[in-house]
Each structure stands twice: as C-alpha cells, then as structure tokens.
Structure 1
C-alpha cells in the first residue's frame, strides 16, 4: 500500500513538473509570436521632421570608438559629477573596469552626489548579486539601485522584455549613450583575449546651468530614465544585505576605496587634470532621443518606424552598422524599398567567424539570401574581435547611434535608446570610424560569395562549429522572433 502511494506521488510530481515545463515554454514564447505595428495615433507623434534643427544647438557631440577611451571618459565624467549621476545598463559585471567605475561612483556619493542606477533584472541581476560591491553601493544614503523586470518563475513571459539601454548622465552637463555594457568586454583593455569593439556618443551641454539648459537632449534622456525608474516592474534591490554577504561588506568597501585612491595616483590625467570638452566635441544642429515602449510585453516598433522613415526620405545614402541582422518580412520589405533609390546602401555586420552571438549568426546563415535580396551591399566584419556597434548614417547630415540592433528582439521586445544627430561635422566623424571598420571587412556579392579586400584575412571556422551551425541554423528558426 505504501509502495503504491509512493509511486502515485512520484507520478503526480513528474506530471506536474511536465505541466510546469510546458507552461514555462509556452508562456515565454507564445505572447511574442505576433508582431505589432505602430498605431496611427502614435505615428502622428513620431514625425521625423522634429529631428532637424536650424542653426547650432546647445549640444556638442563626439564619437567614442576606442575601448580605453570609453572607460576613460566614463571615469572622467563620474569624477566630475557635482549633483547627480544616472546610470542604466543591460549588464553590470564584477571585473576590474566595473570596480573602477563604481569606485568612482562611491567617491562621488561620498561628496554628496545623488546616484541612481537601473539595471536589467535578468542579465545584470545574475552578475550583480554575486558581488558584495553592489551591497556596499546601495547601503550609501546617496545611492539607489533598481532592477527592471525581475524574472519570475511564475510569470515566464517576464523572461523577455529586457532593459537594453546603456547610458550615463552627469548633472545636466554630460551624457554618454551607446552599445557598451559595464565590463572588461567593452571598457578598457584589461583582457584583450575577451574584448568587443563598440561605439558610444558623448554629448556635452554647452548651456548647462543656464536658462537654455532644457534644450539639451540630456533632459530627454533623463525624463525617459524616470519613466523606467518609476515603472511598476522596476524595484529597489540590494537594500537588504543577506547573512551570507555581511562578512564581506567591509572588505568590499575597502576594495572600492583603495581602487579609487589608486586611480587618483595612477590616472591623474583623467581624474585630476582639467579637460576641454569643447575641443573634444563638434557642434550639432539638434540631437533627439528615440525609444521603444517601456512595458515588458511585445512592443509597437517605435524606433524601427522612425529610423525607417528617415531612411525612406534619404536622398543619397544609407549606411547601417549592426552586430547582427535578424529580419522579419516587414523589416525586409522596408529595407528593400531603398533598393535602386540611393547611390549607396550598405549594411556592415559581423561575419559568423568573429560574431559573438551564436544564435543570431545561426539565423544569418539560414536567411542570408533574404538579407542580400534587400539590395544592400553587405560587408561582413572580419577584425580581431567581434563588433557590437549600432549606427546608421543617412546622407551627409543625419547620424544615429545607440543600443539598437537590426534584429527582432530590439525591434519588438526590448527597451532601447538611440540618439538621432542632425549635423554634418558629426556625420563626417561617424563616417570615418565606420569606414575604418569597413576596411576590415569583406564584401558579399548577390550570390553570397565573398569579395575580400587586399588587407582582409578571411577567418576559418573550426570544423565543429561548421557542423553545429548546420543544425542550429535550422533549429533556431522555430524561435527566431525572439532573437
């Protein structure tokens, strides 16, 4: 009798587990199968004419291309903060560059600067909870940390709808926004074996502290930040220290304080010396923020709609740089409309040999001809490391930089931020760095054959990866709307 009851219990448990797994799979996928369109009422608010400005705006800007420069400018900005620091990232790690960033943040908080940090509740959450450093930060009266969309085992749809924004705001004076997360993979060169190329835009508000300060795009980004900060799915974290972490808090605080003192001693060039932000930047006519909706479910493609409108209005050229391309039919059709209209229509992406997103690379191999059929000239990047840059050049006066990939996840699922810059000098600056990466790429002809440049070495995939791609390129088609 007991044995029979035990078997029944085991069978019941197995049955419930199977039901739960099915519930998790369906809950994480089915709500996102259907893609929305931008409603007519919203389209009226997304008029692209608002991106153009007359005369010189209060915002100056610079392209931040180099990994060392990306870390240095962040440390400089944070150390210059007087009143407030706002930070947002898909991922905050626990490595050296992260420690240097947050050591500088803690020092700012010690001198009275208010700090607010928001991070993705899944990606960043996995890494941050391992390190007592974040409990040290949150214990400070001037620092608050929140997660956006903590994954719930009872709500599998919360697995999607990630926070993908990456930016830092300093007072009303400075902003850096782009594709870089906070880690050695993107900042500095502390680990050159594991490194990704990426790009940011730095914005300097020349009217900070004056009546015209509100004209700066920095205030748009700040307003957007607070919509996420106050959103129902954003919650304070690290405010309670678990018993398992309490013994490590003191040493973590000492580590941050020592790191900051070392920076002051060893990097006085960025931590102490005056910096000419005017000379570092170029003038712009206008800079505008574009974003996706902030809820966690399938989204109307606000950013895609606006970028596409700008591309369709192009007169001479459209040049797109994105780490990966995962297109649905709507995106393919929109891009195909550019075919034959422009003197130059290029897309620069990672080659599968160097790309770091295995799922996106698998999809590209399966759908490569569809991408070629858009009529764009495709360049596959074959540099030393994977590239993570997200930029669009339109004619000689519109530039777009931010966190947004040309894939369905960025278009329909995640929060994203892009800055649209109207200005010829900035456009030229962005063109130069994009051309530099194009020179490390090889062209793909309409049949998918490679046309290598003289100085470009075609990387070779290991045999096991070739076999794996044959399987996964087909398998991932089932869930490509989540890629």
Structure 2
C-alpha cells in the first residue's frame, strides 16, 4: 500500500504560482479596451485580494452587452439613420452657434436621433402632478401607449396611472410596457404589478432579464435606466422619475423619512417620434418584434412650439459613451454659466477636467446634489470630489434632507439645456442604458432656471471652510469609495 502525503510546502508553492499567474494574466487581460482608471481599479482589486478580485472580475468585469444585443442596436441605428436622413423634422431655429451644429452632428454619428424643430417642451417638477399628468395623457390614447420605466410599481401613488392604462386597454388601445428586471424583482408590489398588467391585457416584457436558466444573462448590473412614455406618437414624457411612490415603498426610506424629488418633461412635436424610436428599439431588443410596419415612426407633425430638440440614447449597446461625450462637449462650449443637477455626481477625468476648466475660464458654475445619500458607496464617492470642485470655484448646493434630489439636468448659458435619465457618474456613462434630451430655446432654459431657483431656495451652500472640517473617518470612506467607483 502506497502512502501519498503532501507536504504543506507544496500547497504554499501552488498558491504562490497561482497568485503569480493571476497577476500576470490580469496585466494582459484587464487593461484591454478599458479606461485607465477602471483598469487600475480592477488591477488593485485583483492584486490585493487575488481570488476574490478575479471572481468579481469574471462576474461583473465585462461592461458590454452580449454580442447579439449589440448587433440589434447596430441594426436599429442603421435603420434610423437611413430612414430619417432625407426627412424634414420641422423648421429649426435660426442662427444656431457653430458649436451647437457640430455637437448635433457628433450626436447623430454616435446613434442619436435627428435634430427636430417645431417642438413644445414643458417641465413638471411636482412628483404626484407628474404621475397624474401622464395618466391624463394616457386617457387620450386612441391607438397605443408605450410605457418604459426603470422602476414600475402599482401602489397608492401610481394607482391613477395604472387605472388610465386599464381604461384605454379596455377600449382596445394597445398597451406595451417595458420595466427593468433587476431593479424591480424582489421589490414591493412586484408580483402585484405584473398581475395588474396581465389582467388589463398589456403586452409587457422585462428589460435586460438576468435569467440564466432561460438562457438570458449578461453582467447583472448592466441595467436599462430609461424613463419614458409615448401616447399615439403625439405626446411623450421623459426625465428622471420612476413610476412609484416618492419613498419607493422601501422600509429603510420610510423609516428615514426620505422622499425623492424628480423632474419630467412633456413633449409635443416631431421629437416625440425620436422618443418612440428609443422605445421601439428596446422593444425589439427584448422581443425580436419589429413594430415599424405597424407604426409609421417618421410620420411626424409640427408641435405647438418652436424648440429644437434631439434625443440622445446611450449605454453599453453603443460603441462609445454617448452621454459623456455630449456632456463634456457642452461644458467646453459654455461661455458664461453652467448649472448641473445630478443626484449621483461621480465624474471621470474628462468630466472633472471640463468642469474645473470652465471655472478657470471665468464661468459661473453651480452643482446641485443631495445633502442626504441613499446609496452609501456612491454618496461617499461623490463626496471625494467636493474639495477639488470647491477649490476650482464650483458653487455646491446641497438639497436639504430628508429629500433625495433625483433630477438629472443641466443648463449652459441661456439657450441650451439637457434633461433625461442619465446621472453624471461612471455607472450612467458606461453601464446603464440612458436617454437624454438636448434642447435649444431660451423659453425652455428659463423654465429650467425657475426649477433651479426653487431648488436653490431649499438648499444650503457647502463652503470650502465647512468641508475642511470633515472628520478623518469620512475622508477615508470617501477615498475608498472613489476607488471602487471606477470598477467597470
């Protein structure tokens, strides 16, 4: 009988060799086609905690959607470009700055919709009013209603919204609904919401489902973060608000007394077709159903306004970070004033450089964020940028708790604004599917300024003197969170 024993030294050698192989392989694999900051963060994770770091990298290290889904997005982009290239989308406002024209061209090349004129756009800043206004628009539907929201819950606050869907469905209107799988599963009222959609006869699908047993899987934290509603191709809504109670019905939020503050925009005119195109592309991605034969996407009509609007979708289905390029270009184009509202402000190097450079160019730069955080890691990562922003001259307004300022928008000078679902953080730039609306028109910017004034009255200014009194433990947490924020 042969007695086979292993000396402890062999285990040490095996662990050492495995560790070296992991480190060498990481240097070869991790940095490829990845931003330096993200690559460095992953390498630090793998080097300090090799086996855990490798496991995390295998689980969430790929920031791209599966090849099949990316191919679908390419097909959609090609269809929109070819179909709309010869169409007239309303009369554009005269005397557009050269930088604005080049910005629109860049967006178009990256997969955005055409710039459309003759649009009306009006902001809705009250949370419940937004839900009820969308419900009223749904009740006017004659042909179809398209609903796409990151979070969609049937609760007391949204009952009017769902009742409107039920009413139009009962009289034969087609109701199509998309909701993000990971953001809704396990949340309050999830099963009730799906049951209510089934009962009304709505056609609904989960976006980016993580269901490996059904052959549906991608990186779990690649999410569809868009919020939009289209009624008959004549009116649309988009912005930052989900269809749920302002507490999100979560016990931890209710216990802390937290309520979300959001901003939506109601649209009429040719730009509605662009919002609808985003819905149809996501519907095709989830169902393989092409609805362009049923819906004439580019049968557009002039709206009651004269705003120029361009819809810019972004996300891991595109080759580059469309929203980041749009935001950075606007920041460099501004000549007098920049106001940014973002609940999660974790800029990459390009965004941080653009904002601090604007201050050095003599512009007035303001940033609105929440005094209270609902996501610890993002909250602390955001705080790690405050000192450099304050030293550069950015005026930081902190929206007072217990409210979470969830609005995502910014304005430059007096003529151009952006509103949508995209935060100014690395997740929205690289991992989430987002939708942004670029608007040119003084009257719309003035509406936005009125909202900013309202936010300013409820906020307090953070000063550099106050910030320098932060305790050491907060600085340590902020710095650690800043490193993890780059893990993409």
User: C-alpha displacement at 1:363, in angstroms?
Assistant: 1.2
**Helix, strand or coil: the match of 1:338?**
helix
Aligned equivalent of 1:380: 398
**Helix, strand or coil: the match of 2:172?**
coil
User: Residue 134 in 1 paired to residue 204 in 2?
Assistant: no
User: C-alpha displacement at 1:369, in angstroms?
Assistant: 2.0
Q: 1:187 to 1:220 in 2, by over 3 A?
A: farther
User: C-alpha displacement at 1:383, in angstroms?
Assistant: 4.9
User: C-alpha displacement at 1:65, in angstroms?
Assistant: 0.2
Task: Tell me if structure 2 keeps the 8 A contact 1:81–1:113.
Answer: yes
Q: 1:20 to 1:229 in 2, by over 3 A?
A: farther
Aligned equivalent of 2:478: 473
Equivalences for 1:446-461 in 2 at 5 Å?
A: 446=464, 449=467
Aligned equivalent of 1:355: 373
Determine the C-alpha separation between the residues in 2 that align with 1:407 and 1:448.
24
User: Residue 106 in 1 paired to residue 126 in 2?
Assistant: no
User: Residue 185 in 1 paired to residue 246 in 2?
Assistant: yes
Q: Could you tell me which runs of 5 or more consecutive residues in structure 1 were left unpaired when the two chains were aligned.
A: 1-18, 34-41, 206-215, 237-277, 452-460
Aligned equivalent of 2:431: 413
Aligned equivalent of 1:336: 356
User: Residue 147 in 1 paired to residue 206 in 2?
Assistant: yes
Task: Tell me if structure 1 keeps the 8 A contact 2:311–2:438.
Answer: yes
Q: 1:27 to 1:374 in 2, by over 3 A?
A: farther
Q: Could you tell me which runs of 5 or more consecutive residues in structure 2 were left unpaired when the two chains were aligned.
A: 1-49, 65-80, 82-98, 108-115, 290-301
1:283 to 305, 327, 333: 305
User: C-alpha displacement at 1:164, in angstroms?
Assistant: 0.5
Task: Tell me if structure 2 keeps the 8 A contact 1:92–1:127.
Answer: no
User: Residue 48 in 1 paired to residue 106 in 2?
Assistant: no
Equivalences for 1:421-432 in 2 at 5 Å?
A: 421-432=439-450
2:282 to 228, 239, 251: 228
Aligned equivalent of 1:300: 320
Task: Tell me if structure 1 keeps the 8 A contact 2:146–2:177.
Answer: yes
User: C-alpha displacement at 1:120, in angstroms?
Assistant: 1.0
User: C-alpha displacement at 1:77, in angstroms?
Assistant: 0.9
* TM-score of the pair, normalised by structure 1: 0.69
Aligned equivalent of 2:231: 170
Determine the C-alpha separation between the residues in 1 that align with 2:316 and 2:272.
19
Determine the C-alpha separation between the residues in 2 that align with 1:381 and 1:151.
35
Q: Which runs of 4+ in 1 moved over 6 A?
A: 19-23
User: C-alpha displacement at 1:64, in angstroms?
Assistant: 0.4
**Helix, strand or coil: the match of 2:351?**
helix
Determine the C-alpha separation between the residues in 1 that align with 2:430 and 2:367.
20
User: Residue 119 in 1 paired to residue 150 in 2?
Assistant: no
Greater shift in the superposed pair: 281-290 or 148-157: 148-157
User: C-alpha displacement at 1:322, in angstroms?
Assistant: 0.8
2:345 to 317, 325, 342: 325
Q: 1:447 to 1:291 in 2, by over 3 A?
A: farther
Aligned equivalent of 2:272: 218
Aligned equivalent of 1:241: none
Q: 1:367 to 1:187 in 2, by over 3 A?
A: closer
Determine the C-alpha separation between the residues in 1 that align with 2:378 and 2:319.
20
User: Residue 199 in 1 paired to residue 294 in 2?
Assistant: no
User: C-alpha displacement at 1:412, in angstroms?
Assistant: 1.1
Q: 1:204 to 1:375 in 2, by over 3 A?
A: same
**Helix, strand or coil: the match of 2:385?**
helix
User: Residue 27 in 1 paired to residue 58 in 2?
Assistant: yes
1:241-288 residue CA offsets vs partner (Å, 9 max, x unmatched): xxxxxxxxxxxxxxxxxxxxxxxxxxxxxxxxxxxxx9xx98342111
User: C-alpha displacement at 1:346, in angstroms?
Assistant: 1.2
Determine the C-alpha separation between the residues in 2 that align with 1:25 and 1:382.
36
User: C-alpha displacement at 1:442, in angstroms?
Assistant: 2.3
**Helix, strand or coil: the match of 2:445?**
helix
User: C-alpha displacement at 1:331, in angstroms?
Assistant: 2.1
Determine the C-alpha separation between the residues in 2 that align with 1:482 and 1:29.
9
Determine the C-alpha separation between the residues in 1 that align with 2:476 and 2:319.
30
Aligned equivalent of 2:419: 401
* TM-score of the pair, normalised by structure 2: 0.69
User: C-alpha displacement at 1:475, in angstroms?
Assistant: 4.1
User: C-alpha displacement at 1:364, in angstroms?
Assistant: 2.4
Task: Tell me if structure 2 keeps the 8 A contact 1:64–1:200.
Answer: yes
Determine the C-alpha separation between the residues in 1 that align with 2:352 and 2:229.
33
Aligned equivalent of 1:272: none
Determine the C-alpha separation between the residues in 1 that align with 2:412 and 2:141.
34
Taking only aligned residues, the RMSD between alpha carbons, in angstroms, comes to 3.7
Aligned residues: 379
Q: 1:134 to 1:157 in 2, by over 3 A?
A: closer
Determine the C-alpha separation between the residues in 2 that align with 1:450 and 1:475.
18
